[in-house]
Amino acid sequence: MATSTKGPGLKLDDQLCFALYAATNAVVRAYRPLLGELGLTYPQYLVMLALWQDGVTAVHDLAARLQLTSSAITPLVDRLETAGFVTRARAADRRIVLVALTETGRLLEDKVAVAQQAVVCRTGLGERDLADLRQELKDLAGRVADDVIAPTD
């Protein structure tokens, strides 16, 4: 294996971003077949998690909760509605679209919990280690997001 003598000596294996990327991909790959059996993709699963936890939610609030744009949420909600897991309705303020679980969507939660527990088991981490890792990642995301400077005109 050749090593470069030019530049600052950046190494892939030393990059936090790559470790996070690889871990994320591994977790999503572990979820994929389990969720697929239930008719969900991983991004749809995230939408459903938010709805199970928060109840009826406006599309723009759902997007903010998942740190996505409303235009990224809309196709996910479209597919979830087609599958019979959610419904959409306009609020009194017609600009606001509310997303609600159907009975089928509510009943899916118990089945998804089994899939989620299977993935947790695959991590090999105990409850305390999982909670610590989750908190570290949330803190990291918050610090990095806080440091991002919004572009000015």
99: pLDDT strictly greater than 90: yes
How would residue 62 be classed by pLDDT, with cut points 50, 70 and 90?
Answer: very high
How would residue 54 be classed by pLDDT, with cut points 50, 70 and 90?
Answer: very high
Query: Going by DSSP bridges, is the β-strand pair 86-90/97-101 parallel, antiparallel, or unpaired?
Result: antiparallel
Would residue 17 count as lying in a domain?
no
What CATH number does residue 114 fall under?
1.10.10.10
How would residue 7 be classed by pLDDT, with cut points 50, 70 and 90?
Answer: low
Would residue 149 count as lying in a domain?
no
Would residue 152 count as lying in a domain?
no
Entry pTM: 0.86
86-90: strand order across its sheet: 57-58, 97-101, 86-90
Structural domain boundaries enclosing 38: 32-144
How would residue 153 be classed by pLDDT, with cut points 50, 70 and 90?
Answer: very low
Q: What is the pLDDT of residue 66?
A: 95
How many domains are contained in the chain?
A: 1
1: pLDDT strictly greater than 60: no
Would residue 98 count as lying in a domain?
yes
Average pLDDT, the chain: 92
Would residue 14 count as lying in a domain?
no
Please give the share of the chain, as a percent, with pLDDT higher than 90: 84
Query: Going by DSSP bridges, is the β-strand pair 86-90/57-58 parallel, antiparallel, or unpaired?
Result: unpaired
Predicted confidence (pLDDT) per residue in 111-123, tens digit: 999 999 999 999 9
Would residue 12 count as lying in a domain?
no
Burial of 128 (0-12, 13-18, 19+ CB in 10 A): exposed
Would residue 131 count as lying in a domain?
yes
Q: What is the pLDDT of residue 8?
A: 72
Q: What is the pLDDT of residue 146?
A: 75
5: pLDDT strictly greater than 70: no
Q: In the structure encoding, which two tokens stand for residue 109, read together? A: 């939660």
Counted residue by residue, the chain has a size of 153
Q: For 40-49, 127-136, 140-149, which range has the lowest pLDDT when averaged over its residues?
A: 140-149
